Amino acid sequence: MDPSDRIAFTLNGRPVEALHVSPNTTLLDWLRTHDWTGTKEGCAEGDCGACTVVVIDRSPSGTLAYRSINSCIALLPTLAGREIWTVEGIGTASPHSVQHAMADNYGSQCGYCTPGFVTSLFEGYYRNDITTVDDLNDTLNGNLCRCTGYRPIRDAARLAWGSLPHEQKLADPFGQRLQTAPAPDTDLALRSGHEHFFQPTSLAAFFELHRTFPEATLIAGGTEIGVLVAKTFRRFSTFISLQRIPELLDIHETPDALLIGGGVTLTDAMPFLCEPFPSLHEMCRWFASRPIRNRATFGGNLATASPIGDTAPVLLSLGASLRLVGPEGQREIALRDFFTGYRKTVLQPGELIQFVRIPRPGSGQRLARSFKVSKRREMDISIVSAGFCLDLDDTGTITRAGIAFGGVAATPATVPEAEAFLIGKTLTPDSVETVADIISR
User: What pLDDT score does 184 carry?
Assistant: 78
Q: Is the pLDDT of residue 87 over 90?
A: yes
Q: pLDDT at position 92, please? A: 80
Report the relative pairing of strands 83-85 and 6-11 from DSSP bridges.
parallel
pLDDT at 359: 97
pLDDT above 70 covers a percentage of the chain that reads 100
pLDDT in tens, 330-359: 999 999 999 999 999 999 999 999 999 999
* Cα distances (angstroms) measured from residue 239 to each of 21, 202, 430: 14, 16, 54
Q: Are 41 and 223 in contact (CB under 8 A)?
A: no
Task: Say whether pLDDT at 181 is over 80.
Answer: no
Residue 229 belongs to what H/E stretch?
helix 225-232
Tell me the H-state helices in 34-132. 87-90, 97-104, 114-125
* Confidence grade of residue 363 (pLDDT, cut at 50, 70, 90): confident
Instruction: Assess whether pLDDT exceeds 90 at residue 376.
Output: no
Number of H-type helices and E-type strands within the chain: 17, 20
CA distance 53 to 117: 10
Q: How confident is the model at residue 1 (pLDDT cuts 50, 70, 90)?
A: low
CA-wise closest residue to 290 among 57, 76, 49: 49
Q: What is the mean pLDDT of residues 36-59?
A: 95
334: left (phi over 0), alpha (psi -120 to 50) or beta: beta
| Secondary structure of residue 243 in the 3-state scheme | coil
Please say whether the beta carbons of 118 and 99 come within 8 A: yes
pLDDT digits (tens, 9 = 90+) for 284-313: 999 999 999 999 999 999 999 999 999 999
Residue 61: band (very low, low, confident or very high) from pLDDT cuts 50, 70, 90: confident
Q: What is the pLDDT, as a whole number, of residue 213? A: 97
pLDDT tens for each residue of 150-160: 999 999 999 99
Tens of pLDDT, residues 185-229:
889 999 999 999 999 999 999 999 999 999 999 999 999 999 999
Q: Using 50, 70 and 90 to split pLDDT, how confident is the model at 114? A: very high
What average pLDDT does this structure show over 15-33?
96
Would you say residue 93 has pLDDT above 90? no
> In the predicted model, is pLDDT for residue 395 greater than 80?
yes
